[in-house]
């Protein structure tokens, strides 16, 4: 499986550009969101969505999987924004995750799942992750958990995440929903992002 470890958020997800609104006050074409003065382009967002759709189309349950993920664009944009917020909060706290830590978690997940195909299937079906997105998701979880440990509680970490989000002056293209600054979440996701568990964690609790 092709793996992307130690993903650079600024390089992979964000492209330096003017703010979301053009001088006319209209939404700048090609912009899904602006985070910290940099924009998440619609093309970067669509690439994430397309990776998942490609994987879903290869599944023998493709119709069911695609039908159950009509809000995939919003879900992926939400994760992209939250990743930027988490990276900012972690940097402020001096918290980091190494490539080896990511590899160790993935190794434990693979041992628990049995093989790459089973692990990838679970990640796709239950967490909407394409194979190439799994390492970034593992990094996200590790960084999140380290931030919790650093501040001693989820509540304290959430406060710091809120401060990081505020400092980044997040703007979202209305077509994707409304940014909820209080919950640090896009739109009407079912649960606060910080407490969500993903399939790889559940598939390999020893590596979580």
- Return phi, psi of residue 188, to 5°: -110, 50
CATH number of domain containing 164: 1.10.4030
Per the domain annotation, does 2 fall within a domain? no
Of the candidates 117, 145, 147, the residue with the CA atom closest to the CA atom of residue 201: 145
| pLDDT tens by residue, the chain, 208 residues | 444 433 333 333 333 333 444 443 445 679 999 999 999 999 999 999 999 999 999 999 999 999 999 999 999 999 999 999 999 999 999 999 999 999 999 999 999 999 999 999 999 998 999 999 999 999 999 999 999 999 999 999 999 999 999 999 999 999 999 998 888 898 765 545 455 444 444 433 333 3
- Predicted model pTM: 0.79
For the chain, the domain total comes to 1
Cα dihedral 84/141/74/67 (nearest 10): 160
What is the extent of the structural domain holding 22? 9-207
**Beta-carbon neighbour count of residue 170 at 10 Å?**
20
């Amino acid at each position: 499986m092709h793996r992307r470890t130690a993903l650079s958020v600024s390089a992979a997800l964000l492209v330096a550009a003017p703010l979301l609104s053009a001088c006319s006050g209209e939404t700048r074409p090609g912009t899904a969101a602006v985070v910290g003065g940099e924009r998440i382009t619609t093309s970067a967002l669509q690439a994430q969505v397309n990776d998942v759709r490609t994987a879903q189309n290869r599944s023998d349950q493709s119709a069911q999987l695609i039908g159950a993920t009509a809000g995939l664009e919003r879900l992926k944009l939400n994760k992209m924004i939250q990743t930027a917020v988490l990276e900012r909060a972690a940097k402020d706290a001096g918290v980091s995750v190494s490539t080896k830590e990511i590899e160790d978690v993935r190794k434990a997940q693979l041992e628990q799942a049995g093989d790459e195909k089973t692990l990838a299937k679970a990640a796709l079906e239950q967490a909407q992750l394409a194979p190439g997105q799994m390492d970034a998701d593992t990094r996200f979880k590790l960084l999140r958990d380290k931030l919790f440990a650093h501040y001693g509680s989820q509540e304290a970490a959430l406060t710091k995440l809120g401060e990081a989000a505020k400092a980044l002056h997040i703007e979202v293209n209305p077509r994707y929903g409304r940014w909820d600054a209080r919950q640090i979440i896009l739109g009407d996701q079912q649960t606060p992002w910080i407490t969500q568990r993903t399939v790889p964690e559940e598939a390999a609790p020893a590596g979580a």
